[in-house]
Structure 1
């Protein structure tokens, strides 16, 4: 059974993940660099060190913020 989450306010189904997958696996499935995102699970910020421990269930709400580098160079 695939995992269905609300990711950044949008309902998404992840065919490659199942309930009890974890946040680290979600980041991998999304193909994003783990060192450039922050995650919140059901209203609580989860530190990167705990992503592998944070199990996911159908209906969970995940907020992901991407950090973008750059600047004016001045």
Structure 2
């Protein structure tokens, strides 16, 4: 987002993932629940997983398509 309503990110959280389908949801939930976290982006870097990690990230936890 650009313009006057854009949020300036202060941090990037990088999660390297390999076959992390079973644990990734808990990691993302923990990040969402932080009350004092600065504005941030979350980057999940899939390293050739053979489980559903890539699909989970690609389609988002709520089923919406994400970029990347």
**Which structure dedicates a bigger proportion of its chain to strand?**
1
Question: What range is the shorter-chain TM-score in?
Answer: under 0.3
**Which structure dedicates a bigger proportion of its chain to helix?**
2
Q: TM-score, normalised by structure 1?
A: 0.22
Q: TM-score, normalised by structure 2?
A: 0.23
